[in-house]
Amino acid sequence: MNIAVLGAQWGDEGKGKLVDLLTPHFSTVARYQGGHNAGHTVFVAGTKFVLRLIPSGILHPDTICVLGNGVVIDPAALFAEIEQLEALGILVEGRLVISNRAHLILPYHRELDVLSEAKRGARKIGTTSRGIGPAYSDKVARRGIRVGDLGDVASSAALEDAVRENVEARNRLIGESHMDWHAVLDGLRQAWARMRPWVRDVSVYLAEARRAGHSVLYEGAQGTMLDIDHGTYPYVTSSNGTVGGVCTGLGVPPRAIDGVLGVTKAYTTRVGDGPFPSELLDATGERLRAAGHEFGAVTGRPRRCGWFDAVVVRHAVRINGLDAVALTKLDVLDGFPEIPVCVGYRAGDRRIDEFPGELGLLASCSPILETMPGWTTPTAGVRRFEDLPAEARAYIARIEQLIGVPAAIVSTGSDRDDTIVRGDSVVAGWLGGRG
């Protein structure tokens, strides 16, 4: 069984916790896009881990973690994360596989990211300033430098030329920047010396793993609404976090994806700028932020909060062919007397049920809210579905009806064990064993 786990909203849905929970049933966890802009927070026995680039599967000692060709890698960030994990007693060496086709984030990408945001002024994207967009821009412009280029002895002169040309062009673009291309090249050579044992053709590696009967979990970063094609463009990240990214970002065929699990919060958050129809700009939004500890895992920025938006999650269900969702942070809604749900949008006298592709139309949309009763007994830490208050079960049932797929998993707290996997669900079937 090879399963994709990806975000059904604007990221931060709790994918890290879900991947961590599911990992014991998989031999390999493979990331297919994004870079160290991702921030997966996982709590294990009360200890908090924030993973940025390395898949959350790393917390389980027998799992191999893969970074696919669709990922962009900042070697300094990778090494820093490895050191942090090893300081906490998690061995990374020998468990990491990196695609020779993955593109590198170079020092000038970070500078360009910050500069481009400053230039956009009020129209800024609100990026994580990690150089993600400029690295993907270079990839698409066919001037990027890939991990495998660093070890390609036959074309070491070509690497030197590419680094010199890229750095010099960026120096001209940035104006006051005088980055030394020799230093950049030296840094890359040092990075290669360390990365070399981990670098493979990931498509071949995963095909062999599948042939040997191993199961692979494909881990998405960010979320459907931050997807470069299907999200709220241009307020998106620069890669495909939706399911198509699994094929292009790892070199696996569609038939190597046996199931897709979407992760969604029981409400909605977004960090960064851009449209957010069900956003709450009042004290209720602040209450959600405080109760859900909604501050960015990577940047610490406060997340924008709002009610559950069924239009958004339906969009994610359709694009990704979700078999089911994992509904996270239900406990954050504990104590709210009423819980509105966004069931559609209104723009002028039109009702809109499918997420619009046009920013202008989106800006004119207001949410159509349906109010569900809240619950008085807390859901926090509840570990059996039947122990949830009746109103919470009704809330989940209404969401399932609105999005058209079941909530196979319900998460009621940050700990690994605060999770309900519904026995009759498709996910319970997937978790039959370890491949």
Min dist CB 407 to ligand IMP, Å, is: 21
Report the distance separating Cα 308 and Cα 36, nearest Å. 27
Segment lying near ligand IMP (by CB under 6 A), choices 87-95, 124-132, 166-174, 392-400: 124-132
Least distance CB 390 / ligand IMP (angstroms): 33
Token reading at 101: 């086709």
Query: For tokens 């699990």, what's the residue?
Result: 261
Q: Does 37 sit near ligand IMP (CB under 6 A)?
A: yes
Among 29, 125, 145, 246, indicate the residue that binds ligand IMP (CB under 6 A): 125
126 binds ligand IMP (CB under 6 A): yes
Of 20, 25, 36, 40, catalytic:
40
- Minimum distance of ligand IMP from residue 218's CB (angstroms): 16
Give me the least distance between CB of 49 and ligand IMP, in Å please: 15
Q: How far is CA 124 from CA 256, 272, 295, 308, 331, in A?
A: 38, 9, 19, 25, 33
Say whether 138 is catalytic.
no
Q: How far is CA 434 from CA 1, 26, 149, 185, 312, in A?
A: 9, 5, 35, 43, 33
Q: Which of 14, 55, 68, 133 binds ligand IMP (CB under 6 A)?
A: 133
Q: How far is the CB of 238 from ligand IMP (least distance, A)?
A: 6
The whole-angstrom separation of Cα 138 and Cα 20 is 32
Give yes or no: 12 in active site.
Answer: yes
For ligand IMP, which residue of 8, 27, 29, 39 counts as binding (CB under 6 A)? Answer: 39
Angle between helices 132-140 and 107-120 (to 10 degrees): 100
Decide if residue 130 touches ligand IMP (CB under 6 A). Answer: yes
Number of residues interacting with ligand IMP: please give it, by CB under 6 A: 19
- According to DSSP, the residues that pair with 50 across neighbouring strands are 41
Of the candidates 222, 232, 240, 411, which one interacts with ligand IMP according to CB under 6 A? 222
Interface with ligand IMP, residue 306, by CB under 6 A: no
The yes or no reply on residue 63 touching ligand IMP (CB under 6 A) is: no
Q: Cα–Cα distance between 193 and 177 in angstroms, integer?
A: 28
- The catalytic position among 12, 149, 331, 418 is 12
Give the Cα-Cα-Cα angle 265, 232, 132 (nearest 5 degrees): 90
Q: Which is nearer to ligand IMP, 114 or 291 (CB)?
A: 114
The count of other CB atoms within 10 Å of the CB of residue 209 is 21
Q: Considering all CA atoms of the chain, what is the largest pairwise distance in Å, rounded to the nearest integer?
A: 68
- For ligand IMP, give the closer residue by CB, 127 or 166: 127
Q: Which is nearer to ligand IMP, 222 or 224 (CB)?
A: 222
Residue-wise DSSP of 94-135: TSEEEETTPEEP-HHHHHHHHHHHHHHGGG-----SSSHHHH
CB of 104 to ligand IMP, least distance (A): 16
How far apart are the C-alpha atoms of 365 and 337, rounded to whole Å? Answer: 26
User: In the structure encoding, which two tokens stand for residue 32, read together?
Assistant: 């297919």
How far apart CA 292 and CA 90 sit, in angstroms, is 28
Residue 43: φ, ψ to 5°? -110, 125
CB 75 within 8 A of CB 191: yes
| Stretch of 68-76, 81-89, 121-129, 323-331 contacting ligand IMP, by CB under 6 A | 121-129
Q: Which tokens hold the place of 161?
A: 């030329």
For residue 271, CA distances in Å to 19, 35, 162, 295 come to 21, 16, 35, 8
Determine, following the binding rule CB under 6 A, whether residue 237 of this chain makes contact with ligand IMP.
Answer: yes
Tokens coding 59: 């917390």
Would you give the binding string for ligand IMP spanning residues 259-278, x where CB under 6 A is met?
Answer: ------------xx------
Measured from the CB atom, the residue of 11 and 344 that comes closer to ligand IMP is 11
| Nearest-angstrom CA–CA distance, 108 and 387 | 53
In the 8-state DSSP scheme, what is residue 180? -
Minimal distance in Å, beta carbon 133 to ligand IMP? 4
**Binding pattern to ligand IMP, positions 2-31, x when CB under 6 A?**
---------xx-------------------
Residue 243, helix vs strand vs coil = coil
When asked if residue 234 is in the footprint of ligand IMP (CB under 6 A), the reply is no
Shortest distance (Å) from residue 128 CB to ligand IMP:
3
Nearer to ligand IMP, 13 or 149 (CB): 13
138 interacts with ligand IMP by CB under 6 A? no
The residue range among 102-110, 209-217, 219-227, 336-344 that interacts with ligand IMP, by the rule CB under 6 A, is: 219-227
Residues that bind ligand IMP (CB under 6 A): 11-12, 37-39, 125-128, 130, 132-133, 221-222, 226, 237-238, 271-272
Q: Which of the residues are catalytic?
A: 12, 40
